[in-house]
Amino acid sequence: MALTQAPRPRTRLNTGRRQLVAGIVVAGALVVLAFMGLGNATVYFKTADEAMAQRAQLAGHRFRIEGVVQDGTVHQIGPTVSFVIANNGVSVPVVHQGDPPQLFKPGLPVVLEGRFQGDHFASDRIMVKHTETYIAKHPDRVAGYPGSPPGSGTPGMPAGSGPSTP
């Protein structure tokens, strides 16, 4: 007959090490997830001239770009709108996927969200800016916006309250 040994009882030292290792693994995973989440949530804001000057560093990164939509450059085919924005004499060609906001027109300052893709900025979000200065210069462009009281900017917001989306 063979004698079988009873299993050795776990020592407190063994259990304590396992808990320590598990705690370190969980803490490390939380740090990695927090870092990745914050990194993806950060969207940089650049003017058109700044973005073009930093194009190599911004390549592949999602960010916001600001500029004025240039006259005669807006072309829409289905859900795709192409146009050019400019700031401080620097132009950026844009291809936007989706319907633009109702206030989107040439001559307006806009903030776009997306990334550089080949020879253009690929946008999937347009925010039309309309400051008090813009409203004073172009009251006809914002006064006709559906639902807005005369002399106001975005419906439900005071004039000059900044970017808006439809």
Question: Are the C-beta atoms of 103 and 48 separated by less than 8 Å?
Answer: no
**pLDDT tens per residue across span 7-62:** 666 555 577 788 888 899 999 888 888 777 665 555 668 999 999 999 999 888 88
Using the structure block, give the residue that is written with the tokens 């080949």. Answer: 118
Specify the pTM.
0.57
pLDDT at 122 over 50: yes
Give the residue among 26, 34, 43 at the shortest CA–CA distance from 115: 43
What is the rounded radius of gyration, in angstroms, for the C-alpha atoms of the chain?
Answer: 27
Q: Domain 44-143 belongs to what topology? A: OB fold (Dihydrolipoamide Acetyltransferase, E2P) (2.40.50)
Nearest-angstrom CA–CA distance, 162 and 129: 6
